[in-house]
Structure 1
Amino acid sequence: MRNDRLDKMVEMFRLQNRLNDDTNGPAWREGATKQGKVINWKRCIVMETAELIDSFSWKHWKNIEGGIDLENIQIEMVDIWHFVMSYMLRFHTPEEAAKIALAMMRQSRIKLPRSWSVQDNARIEELLEPFEDLMALALVKTDDEAYREELLERFWECVDAVDMSFDALYRLYIGKNALNQFRQLHGYKEGTYRKIWNGREDNVVLQELLAQDPDVTYDGLIERLESAYEGA
C-alpha cells in the first residue's frame, strides 16, 4: 500500500514537472515563463483557494441558505494541488518532493458536511478555517524548508476536510493534468482552443470520462479526450 502510494505520488510530481516544462519552458523554476511572464505559485494557491471558498454560501447578503458545492470544492482542491506541487518542484526533484509530501500528510479536525443543514450556516467560519489557514500561509514571504513542510501539512488538512481520499485526489489530478496538457496542445494559450464541447464544458466531459472508467490510464484519457474533442 505504501509503495503504491509513493509510486502514485511520484507519478503526479513527474507529470506536473513535465506540464510545467511544456507550458512554461525549462527555466520556470527561476520564476518566469519562456515568454518572460513572472510566475508566482503561492499567489496561484491563494487565488485558487479563494475560488474554492466561493463554493460556500458565505456571503451574508446573497443565497444565505445555499450550503456548499462539495463536488466543486473537491475539484478546486485538485487545482490547488497543481500549484502546491509546482511550488515544491522549484526546490526538489519529483522523487524528493513526493517523499516529503507523503511524510507531511495530516488529518483535519474539521470535516465538511455531506448534506447541508440550517445549523451548518452558524458554523461557516469554523468550516472555512482550514482553507483560510492555507490561504494565509501562502501569503507568507518565505520559502525555507520548515515553511514548505507546513504548507504541505495545511494542504493535506484541507484535502481531509473535504472528505477526499488520496486515491480520489490521484484520479482527479491525473484527469485534470491530462486535460491541461490537452488544452495546451490545442491552442489554449493562443486562444484557439474550444472549451465548450457540444454544449458542455470540457471539465464536465472529463468527469464523465473518468466516471466511465475510473482506472483509465493517462495516455488512454488523452486519447478519449481527443476523440470527444474531434466529435464536438
Structure 2
Amino acid sequence: MKRRQKLEEMFALQARLNDDTNGPDWRRGVTRQGKVVNWRRCIVMEAAELIDSFSWKHWKSIDGGIDIENIRIELVDIWHFLMSELLRSLSPEEGAELALATMEGSDVKLPQVWRAEENARIDTLLAPYEELMALALQKRDDETHREAMLRTFWRGADAAGLEFDDLYRLYIGKNALNQFRQKHGYKEGRYRKIWRGREDNAVMQEILRESPDIGYEGLMAALERAYIESETA
C-alpha cells in the first residue's frame, strides 16, 4: 500500500472514530453530550507529555535520560489530534494530500542514548515540539497554518526516528484499540482494561509485533479473540 493510500486510510479511520465517540457535530466543536471539543489543546497537552520524556528540568533528574519510545508513542497520540483538527475543514482525501505534500525531514536528531553533553543542547532538541505547541495555540484556521502544523509534526517525527510505516502501524493499532474499547463499554465503565494481568495496550502491541502486516480488520478480530480468552481464563 502506498503512502497516499495509508494516509487516506488513517484520516478516514480518525473521522469514523470521532463520529462514533463524539457524535456528528465534532467538526463544529461539540460532542453529542454538549461538551466543547478543542483538538489544538489536545495537541498542546500531548506535546507537553512528550517533552516530559526528556530530562529537561534543571531542578531534578540532572543525570536523567530520554525515553525515546514514549516520545514516539506521544507523537502517535498527537497525530490523532492533528488529523482531527485538519478534518474539521478537510475531507480525508484532502487531508491525506496535504499531509503528503508537507512531509519533510529534520536537521535535529534525538539521541538514542542520553549523555551528559546532551544537556547543553536541550533547547535545540525540544525545538520541533515546542514549535508545534506554539502553532497549536495560535487562533488561526487557514491553509498556511495547517501546512505549518503538519510540516512541524513531520520534522518532530523524523527527529525522533519515527518512520512513516511505524507511525501507520502504531496509529492503526491505537485506533483499533480505541474503537474496541468503545464497542465493549469503555464510556459506560463496563470495559476491562487488564487482560490476563496485562494492559490492553500491551496486548495490542504484541499482536502488531507478531503480525507486522496485519490489517485493521485483522487486528480487530485478534483483539476480540484475546479479550474473550481473557474473560474465560
- The answer, yes or no, to whether TM exceeds 0.5 is yes
Q: Which runs of 5+ in 1 are unaligned?
A: none
Distance in 2 of aligned mates of 1:52 and 1:20: 23
Matched letter for residue 10 of structure 1: E
1:125 CA displacement:
1.7
* Distance (Å, rounded) in 1 between the aligned partners of 2:227 and 2:66: 31
Q: Which residue pairs with 1:7 in the alignment?
A: 5
Q: Does residue 180 in structure 1 map to residue 178 in structure 2?
A: yes
CA deviations on 1:202-225 (whole Å, 9 max, x unpaired) are: 221111111101101101111111
Q: Could you list the runs of 5+ residues in structure 2 that have no partner in the other structure?
A: none
Contact 1:78–1:169 (8 Å) recurs in 2: yes
Kindly indicate whether the alpha-carbon contact (under 8 Å) linking 1:179 and 1:206 is maintained by their aligned counterparts in 2.
yes
Is 2:99 the partner of 1:101? yes
> SS at the partner of 1:20?
helix
Counterpart of 1:118?
A: 116
Question: Which residue is 1:155 aligned to?
Answer: 153
Equivalent position SS for 1:135: helix
In structure 1, distance between residues paired with 2:187 and 2:152: 31
Report the counterpart of residue 135 of structure 1 in structure 2: 133
Aligned residues: 230
Tell me the CA shift for residue 42 of structure 1: 0.4
Matching of residues 183-198 of structure 1 within 5 Å: 183-198=181-196
Separation in 2, partners of 1:48, 1:187: 25
Return the alpha-carbon distance in structure 1 between the equivalents of residues 74 and 166 of structure 2: 13
Alpha-carbon offset, residue 18 of structure 1? 0.6
RMSD: 1.2
Q: Deviation string for 1:46-65 (max 9, x for gaps)?
A: 01111111111222232222
- Shift, 1:188, TM fit: 1.6
2: CA distance between counterparts of 1:141 and 1:215?
40
Give 1:80's aligned residue: 78
Moved more, 57-66 or 40-49: 57-66
Structure 1 CA distance for aligned equivalents of residues 58 and 197 of structure 2: 33
Separation of aligned partners in 2, 1:62 and 1:197: 35
- The letter of the residue matching 1:164 is L
Q: Which whole-Å deviations, capped at 9, do the CAs of 1:1-46 have from their partners, x for residues lacking one? A: xx71101110000110111111111111111011111100000000
Q: Which runs of 4+ in 1 moved over 3 A?
A: none
- The TM-score, its normalising length taken from structure 2, stands at 0.95
CA distance in 2, matches of 1:189, 1:50: 25
Task: Report the Cα distance in structure 2 between the residues aligned to 1:230 and 1:31, rounded to whole angstroms.
Answer: 36
Summarize deviations over 1:80-134 as a string: whole Å, max 9, x none: 0000000010001100110011001111111101122121122222111110110
Residue in 1 aligned with 2:24? 26
1:36 paired residue among 12, 34, 37: 34
**Using the alignment, how far apart are the partners of 1:224 and 1:151 within structure 2?**
35
Do the aligned partners of 1:195 and 1:202 also contact (CA within 8 Å) in 2?
yes
- Letter of the 1:19 partner, please give it: L
Determine if contact 1:58/1:124 at 8 Å carries over to the other structure: yes
Q: Is the 8 A contact 1:57 1:66 kept in 2?
A: yes
Q: Measure, in 2, the Cα distance between the counterparts of 1:179 and 1:123.
A: 37
Distance 1:80 1:140 in 2: 16
